[in-house]
Amino acid sequence: MDCGVRSAADRWLLLAVAASLYIGFGLVAASLSPLVGTINDALGLTRSQMGAVLGSWQFVYLFAAIPAGKVLDRIGLRNGLLLGTLLIAASGLLRAAAVDWFTLIAAVGIFGLGGPLVSIGVPTLVSTRFESSERGVATGIAVSGPVVGSMVTLLSANAVLMPAFDDRWRPVVATYAMWSIGAGVAWWLVSAAVGDAHEWKRPTLGRVNNRKLLEIDIVRLILVLAILTFFVNHAIGSWLPEVLRDHRLSPTAAGAWAAAVSVPGLVAGIALPRLATAERRRLMLVGIYALLAVSLIPLAISWSATTAIGILLYGAMRSAALPIAMLFLMDDDRVGPANMAGASALYFTAGEIGGVTGPVVVGIVADSRGFGPAVAIMVVVAASMALLATRLRATNQQRPEIV
């Protein structure tokens, strides 16, 4: 395989640096969640207004994802991933400078321009640089980046950085943005050292045709699952610290438990995709969605040992769902590596329909009825995902790639 790098070691090094870009994605994306109460008080925001803020980058992402795929095709993965990372950093720095609801929502929205370049570019890197037998592990490693970033943010915001900055939230948020700047520099240097210059200039979208991609049954079903998966994950991910505070945990304890979600997530996100062979992939995804629904039930009631177990189970299932769903697209011969950027763009575009609405729905329901009913909605949605996943079939290996 012509992977565009000099050796397998170079290929994995390239993936590691790309994963660091995705870590920056997670750091900045989660930077407001553990500080919601503090920021609401400082800027005079309601839960509904903060829900709109937390969902604003997903709203921008929804419209930016498909154009981002075309941008990657035009400027190449190396330039595209750098551009996306710098936009993510800009979003973080502007969040720290926000003075009201309008400036905060605008700052968060900028993330939606950079986010798709990274989240589409990294799976495309895996699809085009790695053999089929390596993609499960490589995808798991790559998509664990946001999990790591989110975990670090939730653990450090209230426990470390807020005390270090005399309880000022602005420098805390700005600190997370600095990672993306450093990771962007590292990506630029490493990709120049181990990548082939001609390869970086090669188009990533191949002969993609979005209309023909949408004619593929498995693509359509995966897109529906993406909407529902992002609905649940962004809703819970954005509001979990505040939900736990509503269960009378301290801000530090709530942040620690919200971060604990990422620990089993890291293990499951890397280990389970490796086990998801074509023969068992559907059954695994059905089970993951079913366990996701079960894990959230205690969170809708009150804090207990069962809630703690549920949070850890939720973290594992949440992290495993996305890479396994992506494997259905990567390994289907009608999509193929040449069309993976376009398929990823469609996947994340669909997903962010749910990503936009999830945090907003939780904010609205929590304002009127509390967090219990809001989480109960997520349980129902997760259960419906398990039912839909039963309709998936083994990856197509017979039909030719679309043209």
User: Closest by alpha carbon to 201, among 211, 210, 191?
Assistant: 191
CA distance 373 to 371: 6
Asked if the model's pLDDT at residue 101 lies above 60, the reply is: yes
Q: What is the pLDDT of residue 187?
A: 95
Answer whether 0.95 is exceeded by the pTM: no
Q: Does residue 362 surpass a pLDDT of 60?
A: yes
The predicted-structure confidence for 54-74, as pLDDT tens digits, reads as follows 888 988 988 898 888 888 888
Strand partners, 5: 195
Q: Nearest Cα to 229, choosing from 287, 289, 274?
A: 289
More confident residue, 183 or 125: 183
Which one has a higher pLDDT value, 363 or 28?
Answer: 28
**pLDDT > 70? residue 3:** no
Supply the Cα-derived Rg of the chain in whole angstroms. 20
Instruction: Measure CA 160 to chain center.
Output: 24
The model's pLDDT over 113-169, given as tens digits with 9 standing for 90+, comes to 999 999 889 888 887 788 777 877 888 788 788 888 988 998 899 889 999 999 999
Looking at 3.40.630.30, 1.20.1250.20, 2.40.160.10, 3.40.50.261, the CATH number of the domain 8-389 comes to 1.20.1250.20
Average pLDDT on 333-342 reads 73
- DSSP state, 160? I
Residue 200 pLDDT greater than 70, yes or no = no
**Which pLDDT belongs to residue 148?**
87
Tally of residues, the chain: 403
* pLDDT value at residue 202: 53
